[in-house]
Amino acid sequence: MKSSLIRDLARRYAAGELSLDEYRTQRRDLVDAITTGNHRLEYGEPALKPILRIRLLWLITVLLVLAVTAGFVTSRWLGNSHKPQQRVHAPSVTGPMLVRAFLEANDWSDTSLDHFMRRWKALPVSEQQAARHSYLFPRLAAQLQEQIISQEAMVSLTPKTGKATAHLARLQRVAIKLGVSLGN
């Protein structure tokens, strides 16, 4: 027995199809049958039988294959398959965006500096000027000067190691190319 039989009984009484005495009698019989175990309550929808599940999967697969085939045929029929696709270019990086990304990365390694300078050189002059006039450029200049001062201190404290000196030279070249004062 499904639990909806109880609801059906209540609905029939509410609709006036059963009198109060008939409703109570049928409800009592129903409750007694449930409590004695003569009727089982089933909740929820019964699960799909395995054969129905397999048929449903086959139907979905066939529909998917038909949709792909229809798309391919339509594309051929319209002649779109022989036309070269137009590439959608990502918006190019602006000078201020490049400066922002470099500052957010906060990576002053040789690799990061080289990558930044390659991208800087690839910018049009107008974008380089826009970056120099952006509100972030003074922060870039100040941090670059701090890196140079820090690296100069490292070179003066350690014996003339090639790596520290080379990094200082790279920082100074970046400053010169960006037009940042070295402060000496």
pLDDT at 39: 74
Tokens of 146: 């701090």
Beta bridge partners of 42: 2
Q: How far is CA 111 from the centre of its chain?
A: 28
> What is the mean pLDDT of the segment spanning 72-86?
66
DSSP 83: S
Maximum average pLDDT range among 51-55, 73-77, 122-126: 122-126
> What is the mean pLDDT of the segment spanning 134-159?
87
The residue ranking higher by pLDDT, 168 or 115, is: 115
Asked if residue 108 has pLDDT above 80, the reply is yes
Domain positions in the chain are 4-36, 47-80, 95-178
Task: Give residue 80's pLDDT band: very low, low, confident or very high (50, 70, 90).
Answer: low
Task: Extract long-range pairs of 144-148: CB within 8 Å, 24+ residues apart.
Answer: 144/171, 144/174, 144/175, 144/178, 144/180, 145/175, 145/180, 145/181, 145/182, 145/183, 147/108, 147/171, 148/172, 148/175, 148/182, 148/183
Would you say how long the chain is, in residues?
184
**Per-residue pLDDT reduced to its tens digit, 83-99:** 555 555 545 778 899 99
**Per-residue pLDDT reduced to its tens digit, 137-148:** 999 999 999 988
Mean pLDDT rounded to a whole number for the chain: 82
> What is the mean pLDDT of the segment spanning 91-113?
88
Task: Give residue 173's pLDDT band: very low, low, confident or very high (50, 70, 90).
Answer: very high
Tokens of 96: 């201020």
**Per-residue pLDDT reduced to its tens digit, 3-57:** 467 788 888 888 888 898 998 998 888 888 888 878 776 665 555 567 777 888 8
Q: Is 123 helix (H, G, I), strand (E, B) or coil?
A: coil
pLDDT at 90: 47
